[in-house]
Amino acid sequence: MTHLQAGLSPETLEKARLELNENPDTLHQDIQEVRDMVITRPDIGFLRTDDAFILRFLRARKFQHFEAFRLLAQYFEYRQQNLDMFKSFKATDPGIKQALKDGFPGGLANLDHYGRKILVLFAANWDQSRYTLVDILRAILLSLEAMIEDPELQVNGFVLIIDWSNFTFKQASKLTPSMLRLAIEGLQDSFPARFGGIHFVNQPWYIHALYTVIRPFLKEKTRKRIFLHGNNLNSLHQLIHPEILPSEFGGMLPPYDMGTWARTLLDHEYDDDSECNVDSFNAPTKDIEKDLSPKSMKRSQSVVDPGVLKRMDKNEEENMQPLLSLD
């Protein structure tokens, strides 16, 4: 075992070997092969290429050198193409801070039975008057940056649960194609995290309609890891044990405290409510939305195709079977 694997438990070391093809005898060579590819992309500013940083990309792509490098390139390219998102990329930024305090994202204390970190989002908590969807995305990316420093999570990965209870149609109308593309590119295509499952619970009919529209633009691997449970929490419990879930998800633990993860990131600044003018931190978002010209979603100019919505019965959700096909 090299010093780069020092943070891994014996069980996780074995998992890295079996599932990710991680070999301590060739680890430094694997890292160097990825680093050597940096010169092939002079158009990208690779701001960090140390061993520990490259290793997380190798783990995210099961030590396939070219795929790991492509992810590394996309990571920095995404940041170059969306500079406004990362100008004040810190927990104390007003928009990020408020999103964090409202639980975007939250993190459960217990790992699941695969050692994965469980992130939770309560969609209806979004206060549109105080921060934007881009701020929520920034808060999620910032949180992942902090969490991915843990080598155990680099190997074991994450699970995301999104509770859509009381999420209004007005809020859903803000989920534009450009915003969705920004999120998909940032989370699916440009970040070195392994997502073992994305679970929708209590989703209204219009969220199911939205998912139907964006589904073709997700990678097959991602699609297989998205589960639509509706109000069937029993199907969620088949995949994530209720012993580690809060009561909102039918679990055995007390209700989730939305500020748990925010307090970890903000520490003593959590209770400092001095904030900038709302317009000052909404401005970059408007620029981002204006500059985005969706390439892969050109055919969608609204949240969902109106024809799709007209054909959907509002009670369809009750009859919908959760998608529980495991990869």
Residues of the chain with CATH 3.40.525.10: 90-268
* Mean pLDDT value across the chain: 85
pLDDT, tens digit (0-9, with 9 covering 90-100), for 40-64: 999 999 999 999 999 999 999 999 9
Contacts 24+ apart (CB under 8 A), 305-314: 305/213, 308/209, 308/212, 308/213, 309/206, 309/209, 312/205, 312/208, 312/209, 313/205, 314/205
Positive or negative, the Cα torsion across 72, 75, 80, 86?
A: negative
What architecture does CATH give domain 90-268?
Answer: 3-Layer(aba) Sandwich (3.40)
**Range of lowest pLDDT (11-20, 178-187, 191-200):** 178-187
**Range of lowest pLDDT (3-7, 59-63, 72-76):** 3-7
pLDDT, tens digit (0-9, with 9 covering 90-100), for 265-318: 998 888 876 544 444 334 444 444 434 333 333 333 333 343 433 343 444 333
Q: Indicate the pLDDT class of residue 217, thresholds 50, 70 and 90.
A: confident
Q: Confirm if 280 and 132 have CB atoms less than 8 A apart.
A: no
Query: Class assignment of domain 3-81?
Result: mainly alpha
**Residue 246 CB: number of other CB atoms within 10 A?**
19
Q: Confirm if 241 and 86 have CB atoms less than 8 A apart.
A: no
Residues of the chain with CATH 1.10.8.20: 3-81
pLDDT top residue among 326 and 261: 261
Task: Identify the pLDDT of residue 281.
Answer: 38
* Six token digits for residue 223: 């699609």
Q: What is the mean pLDDT of residues 240-254?
A: 96
